[in-house]
Amino acid sequence: MTTDTIALAPSRSFDWEAAACVLSVTLLTALAAGPLYEQALPFTAQPWHWAAAFGIACTPAVFTSWIVSILAGRLPPRPGSTPKLNHISGWSFLLLAVPIALIVALALWAAASPDGGRAINATWGIIVTAGLAALFIFAAWAPSWNLQRRAGWLLSILRPLVTPFGLLMSIIDSLLVFVVATAAGASRHTWQMRYVILAGFLLPCAMMGYWLAAPWGLIPLAAGFAIAVSMSRRWAWVEDDRELAMLNGRFVGPHLRIGFEQDLRDEAMLSFMSMFFLVPLALRQIEGWQTIFEMGQADGDNVLDWIAFYGAELAKAVPFVDWAEIYNVHGDAGIRTGDQPMARHVIFATRVLVDLVFLAALLQALGISARNAKQRELFTSGALNRLDPFIEKSEFRKLVRRSADGEWQADDEAIASFPEYDVIRLGELSDPAQPMAMQVAAKALRMKQGGSTSAEFHDELLRRSMTPKRDREAIIEVVQAIRGAGPERQIFELDQARRALNGAVRMVEARTSVLRLLVDAPQSPERTLALLEAVQAGPQRDSLGPVRAVAIAGLAIPAANDEPGVRALIRHTASNGDTDAERRAAKAILDQIGDS
């Protein structure tokens, strides 16, 4: 019997999500070219046929993203199950709903009043000034008030009324992030694939919104709006995760909702940019459905006229300044709202879109740029000893260059001038699973900082495992650092860490990771004894079946070598193991060594 490592080759599962996205993009592209082959169809396709086909084309990507999100634990399989979708509170909904209701009420009042009655008189001015002053006072003092004690009775009355709306907003937000954005390519690992899928959705939406008869063209245009908003929301979630990661120093764990696989800033900005063309197409569709604008000399079918009209409205709606009214500047793009209240509502909605959506996205992008610059400044000055994953990737890339043979090598000058970096994080980045450029940079920095050894990481693992309040993510972090430091394994420290974690609740992943380090250690009597103690009855037996199953799998070579006590334990576990995982692992070893 050979003594080579007995292992199963990992199988690469088929990426159904990517395949579904590509299928939807292919179908949408074919639909967008509908006018080219419409006459060759064996029947006369009606507008609703094309709209229905659009929905069918989107279904593979949307449905698959939904199923994958459920299987990955991001969305609940049924209402009320875990994970709970309650990240938006009822009070947040109330703070959003009240201003929107006031804006809508003002718009309805202005549209219903005759021209002479649309005046903000002196009384209104006093009320508005006093109201804004009260809001600022409330914003200044409310954080120091104990509202639960002072107005607990009022909060108890309002809470049941607003909580369902917060849950509804949470559900919609989660569906946008995990279903719509994912279907549009947000979860793809390469930026090229993300751009192709995103363009494969947005461009057909715009094209069908152009040639499909009104009002059916509003359906693909609405889908384009939903994609743009969903990309923005997913980007916002990613940025929230970046802040949380830097606050607690943990780049993995349940506190992160999206993680750092993709930086969606560019995709979100491009999605919002597409709305500058989708909105004029929507205005054109609305006019073709219900005549509400005064066209004058403009051509209602000419998209450029609608772009010019929308651009003129944007120019007048420069956020929060309203310069056009102050200087009595009027739009002259050929299309006018006239006296139709509906036309004014539509234009008002587009201006609100600019102020509340476009401006918010732009301010978020500027705020993130400022935060990134501040983070780099703090790191350079020594106030921080690590960077967030996105900045880390770009900064580490500056530390390496391609050699003449195409291999990555460290830039000695850049390495020498780079500030001190967190040694545990450098150990993580040295792991073979990391991109080669990151590995090379991390290993060069480790050597420059004194070459943190695997033994030091093992000591740190033991220290973190024995603290009274154990941090699962902190333990997994140092486990990854040990893996990145090389093949050396300290059996005693790993076994002591396993024993310290034995019985700890909510630490399955951490305990399994520590035991896998033991399994990866070179063959030795100490390694075999440590794995046997984790499985066999006794005070050191691990309390979790999945962890014991890992230990059993690690006994394959000792069983093949017929080391004392190993085969007997494997035979006993194969027939009398406490869990299916243990029995399966033991039977697999017996089958491999030919012991029935």
Per-residue pLDDT of 216-264, as tens digits, reads 999 999 999 999 999 999 998 988 888 887 777 767 666 678 878 788 8
Structure tokens at 269: 């900005």
Does the structure show a pLDDT above 90 at 25? yes
DSSP string, 205-226: HHHHHHHSPTTTTHHHHHHHHH
Mean pLDDT of 571-585: 88
> Is there a domain that residue 179 lies in?
no
> Is there a domain that residue 424 lies in?
yes
Give CA–CA dist 232/265, Å, rounded.
Answer: 8
Domain count of the chain?
1
**Average pLDDT score, the chain:** 84
What is the sign, positive or negative, of the torsion defined by CA atoms of 76, 81, 82, 87? Answer: positive
Task: Say which residues have a Cβ less than 8 Å from residue 176's Cβ, sequence separation at least 6.
Answer: 226, 229, 230, 233, 234
Nearest alpha-carbon partner for 20 in 61, 58, 48:
61
Structure tokens at 551: 């230990």
> Is there a domain that residue 419 lies in?
yes
> Is there a domain that residue 582 lies in?
no
What does each C-alpha distance from 74 to 16, 77, 88, 190, 457 come to in angstroms? 17, 9, 16, 21, 33
Structural domain span for residue 417: 398-452
> Is there a domain that residue 538 lies in?
no
Give CA–CA dist 518/132, Å, rounded.
Answer: 64
Mean pLDDT of 312-317: 77
Structure tokens at 6: 């007995």
Per-residue pLDDT of 330-350, as tens digits, reads 767 778 877 778 888 888 887
DSSP string, 143-169: GGS-HHHHSHHHHHHHHHHHHHHHHHH
Q: Residue 257 in contact with residue 240, Cβ under 8 Å?
A: yes
Work out the percent of the chain whose per-residue pLDDT is above 90: 23
Give CA–CA dist 119/545, Å, rounded.
Answer: 75
- Beta pairing partners, 410: 400
Q: Residue 451: what pLDDT?
A: 64
pTM confidence score? 0.77
Structure tokens at 573: 């576990």
What does each C-alpha distance from 360 to 135, 173, 353, 539 come to in angstroms? 21, 17, 10, 59
> Is there a domain that residue 448 lies in?
yes
